[in-house]
Amino acid sequence: MFRSILVHLTGTDCDSAVLPAALHIAGPFGGHLDCLHMVPDPAAIAAQTFAIDAGSSMLLADTLGAIEQQGRACTAKARGTFEAFCKTHNLGRSDSPTGGGISVSWFERPAADEFDQLIIESRFHDVVVLAGGPERAGRLPDGAIGSVVMGAGRPVLLASEETTAKPIKTIAVAWKTGAEAARALTAAMPLLVQADRIDVLSANESDSEADSCVHCADRIVQQLRWHGLNAHGRFVVPAGRPAPDAILETAKNGNADLLVMGAYGHSRVRETIFGGFTQRILRGAAMPVLLFH
């Protein structure tokens, strides 16, 4: 079950999409939303700066002052969005899951490196919710999202730019034979068992893969049906489109409320390298996406 949900709030318009997405996955389980806001730590940032002469020291002081001022403004906006959301949905405050319905908490963490701290906090929760969709203020850069997906060891839900009050009832699964897809399916099982319908989508990236794509999708549909789930397979013909676009369009046309997929790639220090399919989903999905590496 998704009982403990980490929600990343940035003090931007992204927060208005991230909070409802987190509420949707918490609903069936009476989950708890741990709403985290990272506050820039000027002292830690300064400690990471080396070889500063007198002139650059003055410039650094001005820069750190601006960072601190911007941080206060973002914190105030994030807190305001959080408070309004709690009031609108009549959510009770608690430091941990109560077992008596959805609860929320607010906490701040000072950080010189927001992404490393976010990864650490992620490991103490069942799922992490970040802003997804197109790049914009408050949405982490692709590399940072990739670092969290690769390093958290937890499923990551990317909230779409457009909010919706519709609960998650139809789930699309982007399926291909591979450990990443299998792990993502396992990670999403708490949501899958709550869904009214599951569409397993497979697309051949070359003509020689068509038969194997159909076969592997049929097998996973059968496995889901053994769990008593209403699963259906659909082989997606790209028809000149990139396979990721074909999958996204098929999921959207099928009224999917969520796309589940494995994150394919590997990380090297701060650089995260994804395959083309995952990169496309990261940058352009118009629906919530649950990723797991």
Could you write out the DSSP letters of every residue in 74-97?
A: HHHHHHHHHHHHHHHHTPEE-SS-
Place of tokens 């068509």: 210
Encoded tokens for 75: 């914190």
Structural domains in the chain, sorted by start: 4-159 (3.40.50.620), 170-260 (3.40.50.620)
Count other C-beta atoms under 10 Å from residue 273's C-beta.
14
Q: What is the Rg, in whole angstroms, of the alpha carbon atoms belonging to the chain?
A: 20
Residue 140: DSSP 8-state: P
> Positive or negative CA dihedral for 156, 171, 208, 283?
negative
Look at 75-89, 106-120, 160-174, 207-221 and tell me which has the smallest mean pLDDT: 207-221
Read off the pLDDT band of 280 (50, 70, 90): confident
In 3D space, the residue among 80, 107, 97, 111 whose CA is nearest the CA of residue 7 turns out to be 107
Report the pLDDT value the prediction gives residue 39, as an integer from 0 to 100.
Answer: 86
Read off the pLDDT band of 66 (50, 70, 90): low
Residue 31: DSSP 8-state: -
Question: pTM (2 decimals)?
Answer: 0.86
Torsion of CA 7, 11, 17, 23, to 10 degrees: 30
What confidence tens digit (pLDDT) does each residue in 73-96 have? Answer: 899 999 999 999 999 999 988 887
User: Between β-strands 32-40 and 103-111, what pairing exists: parallel, antiparallel or unpaired?
Assistant: parallel
Give the angle 131-133-138 at the CA atoms, nearest 5°.
Answer: 40
Read off the pLDDT band of 47 (50, 70, 90): low
Report the pLDDT value the prediction gives residue 46, as an integer from 0 to 100.
Answer: 54
Does the pLDDT value for residue 184 go beyond 50? yes
- Asked if 127 and 188 count as a contact pair (C-beta separation under 8 A), the reply is no
Report the pLDDT value the prediction gives residue 61, as an integer from 0 to 100.
Answer: 62
**CB-count exposure of residue 11 (10 Å: 0-12, 13-18, 19+):** buried
